[in-house]
A = this chain, B = another copy of it.
């Protein structure tokens, strides 16, 4: 976060946070700081692709094994070959995975390091993070206030 941004947006740093003019300036500033719409769409698309248990199993398998054929992916992930094929098609279109053909077998691998890092980060973190809470009130009385 930039210094200027902080000075504009910090709710505690300024008196008159609720003032209309200040609010407009803040919103204007933040809106301009957003990534371009095209990038937002691309980010969302990749995350959406990674947001399905079956596809996560496929990707985790590729992360572990490097290169795997469709048939094996289906067996490992516990999905039909058709499902896997459909999933791979979507991920191919967004370069989340890439292919190599060897005879009649097609091997899939992760598309790039970026995907590899996202996956690795998420899986590692999931390994030692608390379970999901029930849908709760925005302010949970049992929650500790940050210091």
Contact = CB atoms under 8 A, between A and B. Distances in A.
Interface of A: 1, 5-6, 9-11, 18, 23, 26-27, 30-31, 33-35, 38-53, 55-57, 60-61, 64-69, 72, 75-77, 88-89, 92-95, 98-102, 105-107, 114, 117-119, 121-123, 125-127, 129-136, 138-139, 143, 145-146
Contacts of A23: 72
B11 A106 contact: no
Contacts of A107: 11
B51 A45 contact: yes
A89 B122 contact: no
A46 B145 CA distance: 23
A34 B95 CA distance: 22
Contacts of A126: 35, 39-40, 42-43, 46
A70 B15 CA distance: 19
B114 A72 contact: no
A34 B51 contact: no
B50 A51 contact: yes
A49 B51 contact: yes
A138 B69 CA distance: 12
B125 A35 contact: no
A49 B51 CA distance: 8
Contacts of A117: 121
A4 B56 CA distance: 23
Contact of A94 (B42, B66, B72, B132): B132
